[in-house]
Structure 1
Amino acid sequence: MTKTSTAHRALPTASAGQTWATLRTEAGTMPGLTAAALAVAVAASAIGLVAPWVLGDMIDNLLGGTTLGHLFRAVTVVAVAAVLGAALTAWATVLVARVSATVLARLRERALDRALHLPVTSLDRVGTGDLLSRVGDDAAVVNTVVSTTGPTLVSTLITVVLTGVGMFAVDWRLGLAGLAAAPLYAWALRWYLPRSGPYYAKERVAAAQRSEAIVGALRGGTTVRAYRLETEHVGQIADRSHTAMGLSVGVFTMFTRFVSRINRAEFVGLSAVLVVGYLLVRADAVTVGATTAAALYFHRLFNPLALLLSEADALQRAGASLARLVGVARLPASAAAGDPAPLTDTSMEIIDVTHWYDDGPPVLLDISLRIPAGRRVALVGASGAGKTTLAAIAGAMIAPATGSVRIGGVDPSTLEGSFVRRHVGIVTQQVHVFSGPLVEDLRLARPEATEEQVTAALDAVGALGWVRELPDGLYTVVGEGAHQLTDAQAQHLALARLVLADPPVAILDEATAEAGSAGARDLDAAATAATAGRTTLIVAHRLTQAATADRIVVLDQGKIVETGSHAELVSAEGMYGRLWRSWSGTRAGVRDRPRQAADRSGRPGTGAGVVPGTGAVDPRTGSGLAVPDR
């Protein structure tokens, strides 16, 4: 798509308030499960208070004299409490994990749904790396915390609160002594959190930029090698990786200093409890057993508090990732506005359309075009003329800045997305083969299609022959890690999906551009068959595609400069006539008819002969119309 800037814009990131609000809303959809998880976690933590209390009481009894039976009962209570506490803790862990995993799964599904419904131009501006890092890396970070740390943290937080209550229950003065550590814990957090939060946010952004550099280099590998840009791209990846590594090392260094502050707080708190306990015992204000119980309670806080504070590292990381995931999940859902009756008029009308991206210059200016029902119109023009943008607007993929589109007199932007997809089929240059049996790949266009209907669609576009030659025919597993299809075969499948979907309106945006010379004729014939009887708008990659259309529209710098049939435009000797003569090798004034170009070897076909860096027409192949608008 045309872009007004090469800089990528990140998707939105939710604020802390928005993130918590989203989590509360999702957890609130499971009130029973959420309440049960909290109740069991509280019970498990409360059971943990039994052992220190019983041990303190045992010490007092030993000092005052006790029986063997009393000691046996005390040991039995501690053992039963330990077993029951372990069982409740395990149950609480399962329940909390179930709540957390369900919430995360819903967020991931919603984020993926919003991402899939983003306008094409928004995806273009965002960049693949940012989107992949959110639904991939960020979701993985949150999932790790949810599945491993999250349940433990919930139980630990409850344990800290109940243990603090237990210390005050033993003696309020011993409880206050334990609180001497609180300022040091708070100081450690106050020092760490404001410094680490921005670091983690920057680290996630750096990871997204690194992903963008890697994905961009891999997807554009052919171009990178053609222009000998390997060193530049490797250097860019190395720079962004170094930036991400530097941020990670900085965060780890900061975390190490944070842990030392936690240890200092533990030392001060336990020392305060022991000193105050000694003084109170000396004054006969409390018993040795009570002081022992209080010391054990405070010691019991070591691991939970250390875990809470040390896991602030994981929580900060997960919080930054969760905010990025929620930011996508909170994007507005696609509007739904009923499902009207099927269109009886399939003509298309583009009315006074002008479009620009962000604050850039207009890429389309006052475009008006009408395509009668069942007719084929081809868009022709040099790279950057606005062809792809106009096709996207016609297919309701993006909304025009001004002007409107009508299909059968109806504005598609007012209709529900699934209704538009049933009536407008779009095939672009970028075709994806989904992993799985080939027949299921085709059924994406029509899930209820029978094998006979799938076979008929393949036959209609001339793909049935090579499909039958696959190892398992229609049931051959294709896609990543399985049988690899060629670019031409992938585009054949896309055209077969169009036939299966059977929309009355079709838009082909350079849908056969990846075929190269060898498969050009077959794919052009397949495209013609797939669009037979449909109202069709074609972004022409080759002039032979345009020559067979009912009408040709020539765009130049966002404006319609010529329109007419192939014969009319060739005779007019305007821009299209010059392009045709350059492509076909004929002289001005010489009668000509559409024919297939020859590639460099002299075989019928078409080449991809764009003069690098210019978008100009290569007279040997007639390309230069093929470069997508950018």
Structure 2
Amino acid sequence: MTPQLLPIADSAHTRRAAWALLRPYRRLAVVAGLALALATVVGLAGVDLLGRIVDDVRAGGTDLARPAVLLALAATVHGIGTAIGAARIAEVGERMLADLRERFVERALHLPLDRIEAAGAGDLTARVTRDVTAVAEAVRYALPTLVRSALSIGLTLVALALLDWRFLVAALVAMPLQAGTVRWYARTAGPVYADSRVAVAAQQQQLLDSYAGADTVLAFGLARRHTDLIAARSAAAVDLSLRGVGLLSRFFSRLNLAEFVALGGVLTVGYLLVGAGSVTLGTATAAALYLHNLFNPINAALGLADEVQVARAGLSRLVGIADLPAPSTGPAATSPATWPEATSPATATPPSAATAAGADPVPPAIVVSGVRHAYRPGEDVLHGVDLEVSAGERLALVGASGAGKTTLASLVAGTHRPHGGRIALGGHDVAELAPAELRRRVVLVTQDVHVFAGALADDLRLARPGATDAELWAALGRVGAIDWVRTLPDGLATVVGEGGHRLTEEQAQHLALARLVLADPPVVILDEATADAGSAGARALEAAANRALSGRTAIVVAHRLTQAAEADRVVVMADGRIVESGTHDALVAAEGPYAALWSAWSAHR
């Protein structure tokens, strides 16, 4: 199936986005421009001073001390001004890049999971890594050079015109060749670099797929096939990269030719004008030096066309995500003040009771009507599923691997959208709920728990940013995690995650359940959340999950059938359909599919 790439902004959209990012820093940009302009003017004055020295020496002058001091002063001012201006330009660029990164991350985190899966994780990974790096390099190095070069080119052309307009005409002879070279390169290289980005994303996606499924690949003898796929993706990326290198070589060859043409023109004009007595030898020397200095910024600016093309391609891919519509906050969502206040485990009011008291007008019930879903067109994994979960009911989903349990759970949680049918939470269609409102109503806890780098307290507060330490301890107590948290070196302040204290799988699951208590949603989906722990750890986590789920509507994807036995109702799935539904005792007595599963489970406990 061909990946459906995430949005890429067109050129006009990218320019508008860049201007919007620059707008808050216009004053700083003006200061930087003035500093660079001053430095450039002083530098050009030094060249004019050299021409005057040539004329003085030719006339027999011997006092060079004063011109030498002025040259040293001009060089000093030029260096200081250039440094200040370049630093300020880089600062503007870094601030713009920081704003873009924040906007990109905000939008990327709210992308629907099925949209990311359709594009392939490699597409998003390439944008976060290679595209951000390309834009950052351009901001730090190319942007200051381009601004400085543009000022130098413009002011040097003015200086040539002031010396004699014919020097300017001679210098401009090369401009059509330079302009044609730039147009050719921009027209030809842009699509190549854009295609190269897509090819690199495809290469990364194939590497991720092959690495993540390494066990399956080896088990089924698919190593050669995956190696060939990786080789094909890599060959496509390398081919496009080599095409870019070839274009760059031809680009610089044409620029060198343009420089030779212009220099020859100015030297010829200078020779003729000096011979005719129209200008002095010093003036002709200054013109030649101006032209020589002119091509340094021209070649620097045009030489950066390669980086500009790469950065432009990367920027359009970042803007494509960053300018997605902002996630709606819904009527009651992201502000911590609107979340239910946490209370101690002994006095907490169950969500269903709060509903009865009128605190939440939306009953926490789940209705699944005729739901179908397919990860690939024409290959449904759910076939018209109908299910209703009453407020406060705990329902267990069981069945063999591939039965559709996790798919149904993810659809109810809103991480995927069904391809047919309807799912409602408390009477509201999941597809119509804003992301923040959906997260307020339902939380999904899986066996894959990410522990964020930082203090344990900060990790817990992801669920409730305004929670006090007392509320954090209350949540930990409710899931039975207080004892091990107290043994940590700094308690709640202990740094966990990457580079910090490593948590066990059981402790990470405790952390996820504590977040759940703090978030206090009316509906919870547990997708095999205790599956990775050992027997003793699993029993402890099941007890912790039971306490966390108390008073909530819950769907539990049961890896261990002890969870099903404790549920209010058990739903058995097979081949994307519901084949049984009832209490544990009733299903065991019916001697159907669930009874067979229970018998096999009991025999191997």
Q: TM-score range by the shorter chain?
A: 0.7 to 0.9
2:588 aligned to which of 570, 575, 582: 570
What is the SS of the residue equivalent to 2:533?
helix
Question: Partners in 2 of 1:361 and 1:141 — Cα distance?
Answer: 39
1:177 aligned to which of 170, 173, 181: 170
- 2:354 is the alignment partner of 1:354: no
CA contact (8 A) 1:178 1:272 kept: yes
- 2:110 is the alignment partner of 1:93: no
2:182 aligned to which of 174, 184, 189: 189
Farther-moved stretch of structure 1 (269-278 vs 325-334): 325-334
**TM-score of the two chains, using structure 1 as the length reference:** 0.84
Q: What are the within-5 Å matches in structure 2 for residues 476-495 of structure 1?
A: 476-495=494-513
1:55 aligned to which of 47, 50, 53: 50
Residue equivalent to 1:504: 522
- 2:521 is the alignment partner of 1:521: no
- 2:257 is the alignment partner of 1:274: no
CA contact (8 A) 2:110 2:435 kept: no
Q: What are the within-5 Å matches in structure 2 for residues 459-474 of structure 1?
A: 459-470=477-488, 473-474=491-492
Question: 1:190, CA displacement in angstroms?
Answer: 4.0
Farther-moved stretch of structure 1 (184-193 vs 109-118): 184-193
What is the SS of the residue equivalent to 1:29?
helix
Question: Partners in 2 of 1:578 and 1:158 — Cα distance?
Answer: 81
Aligned pair in 2 of structure 1 residues 134, 485: CA closer, same or farther (>3 Å)? Answer: same
CA contact (8 A) 2:393 2:553 kept: yes
Aligned pair in 2 of structure 1 residues 257, 9: CA closer, same or farther (>3 Å)? Answer: same
- Stretches of structure 2 lacking an aligned partner (at least 5 in a row): 339-358
Question: 1:457, CA displacement in angstroms?
Answer: 2.7
Question: Partners in 2 of 1:43 and 1:416 — Cα distance?
Answer: 53
- 2:162 is the alignment partner of 1:201: no
Farther-moved stretch of structure 1 (36-45 vs 411-420): 411-420
Question: Partners in 1 of 2:233 and 2:502 — Cα distance?
Answer: 32
- 2:460 is the alignment partner of 1:442: yes
Residue equivalent to 1:297: 290
AA partner of residue 33 (structure 1): L
Question: Partners in 2 of 1:41 and 1:256 — Cα distance?
Answer: 30
Residue equivalent to 1:35: 30
Question: 1:51, CA displacement in angstroms?
Answer: 1.8
Question: Partners in 2 of 1:579 and 1:8 — Cα distance?
Answer: 38
What is the SS of the residue equivalent to 1:118?
coil
- Stretches of structure 1 lacking an aligned partner (at least 5 in a row): 586-596, 599-630
Question: 1:150, CA displacement in angstroms?
Answer: 1.5
Question: 1:280, CA displacement in angstroms?
Answer: 2.1
Aligned pair in 2 of structure 1 residues 478, 216: CA closer, same or farther (>3 Å)? Answer: farther
Question: Partners in 1 of 2:378 and 2:394 — Cα distance?
Answer: 31
Aligned pair in 2 of structure 1 residues 38, 403: CA closer, same or farther (>3 Å)? Answer: farther
Question: Partners in 2 of 1:522 and 1:540 — Cα distance?
Answer: 15
CA contact (8 A) 2:371 2:386 kept: no
Question: Partners in 2 of 1:52 and 1:568 — Cα distance?
Answer: 97
Question: 1:216, CA displacement in angstroms?
Answer: 3.5
- 2:296 is the alignment partner of 1:285: no
Question: Partners in 2 of 1:155 and 1:240 — Cα distance?
Answer: 39
Segments of 4+ moved more than 6 angstroms: none
Farther-moved stretch of structure 1 (175-184 vs 345-354): 345-354
Question: Partners in 1 of 2:172 and 2:193 — Cα distance?
Answer: 31
Question: Partners in 2 of 1:257 and 1:405 — Cα distance?
Answer: 59
Residue equivalent to 1:132: 125
What is the SS of the residue equivalent to 2:449?
coil
CA contact (8 A) 1:435 1:477 kept: yes
Farther-moved stretch of structure 1 (529-538 vs 362-371): 362-371
2:443 aligned to which of 422, 425, 436: 425
Farther-moved stretch of structure 1 (352-361 vs 166-175): 352-361
Question: Partners in 2 of 1:443 and 1:148 — Cα distance?
Answer: 39
Residue equivalent to 2:360: 343
1:377 aligned to which of 377, 395, 401: 395
Question: Partners in 2 of 1:65 and 1:229 — Cα distance?
Answer: 86
CA contact (8 A) 1:347 1:374 kept: yes
Q: What whole-Å deviation, never above 9, does each CA across 1:43-80 have from its counterpart, x for those lacking one?
A: 33233321222322343344456573xx5554444333
- 2:250 is the alignment partner of 1:257: yes
- 2:337 is the alignment partner of 1:320: no
Question: 1:495, CA displacement in angstroms?
Answer: 1.4
Q: How many residues align?
A: 580
Aligned pair in 2 of structure 1 residues 463, 448: CA closer, same or farther (>3 Å)? Answer: same
Aligned pair in 2 of structure 1 residues 366, 572: CA closer, same or farther (>3 Å)? Answer: same
Question: Partners in 1 of 2:76 and 2:560 — Cα distance?
Answer: 76
Paired-residue identity, %: 47
Question: Partners in 2 of 1:18 and 1:190 — Cα distance?
Answer: 20
Q: What are the within-5 Å matches in structure 2 for residues 140-179 of structure 1?
A: 140-179=133-172
**TM-score of the two chains, using structure 2 as the length reference:** 0.87
Aligned pair in 2 of structure 1 residues 10, 487: CA closer, same or farther (>3 Å)? Answer: farther
Residue equivalent to 1:18: 13
AA partner of residue 352 (structure 1): S
Aligned pair in 2 of structure 1 residues 240, 517: CA closer, same or farther (>3 Å)? Answer: farther
- 2:448 is the alignment partner of 1:453: no
Question: 1:151, CA displacement in angstroms?
Answer: 0.9
Question: 1:240, CA displacement in angstroms?
Answer: 3.9
Question: Partners in 2 of 1:456 and 1:216 — Cα distance?
Answer: 41
AA partner of residue 211 (structure 1): Q
Question: 1:343, CA displacement in angstroms?
Answer: 2.0
What is the SS of the residue equivalent to 1:333?
coil
CA contact (8 A) 1:505 1:536 kept: yes
CA contact (8 A) 1:343 1:408 kept: no
Q: What whole-Å deviation, never above 9, does each CA across 1:479-505 have from its counterpart, x for those lacking one?
A: 233333333332222112212222222
AA partner of residue 56 (structure 1): G
Question: Partners in 2 of 1:435 and 1:234 — Cα distance?
Answer: 34
Question: Partners in 2 of 1:408 and 1:320 — Cα distance?
Answer: 45
CA contact (8 A) 1:554 1:563 kept: yes
Question: Partners in 1 of 2:212 and 2:577 — Cα distance?
Answer: 31
Residue equivalent to 2:348: none
What is the SS of the residue equivalent to 1:508?
strand
Question: 1:307, CA displacement in angstroms?
Answer: 0.8
CA contact (8 A) 2:206 2:229 kept: yes
AA partner of residue 197 (structure 2): R
What is the SS of the residue equivalent to 1:390?
helix
Residue equivalent to 1:79: 72
Residue equivalent to 1:628: none
CA contact (8 A) 1:423 1:503 kept: yes
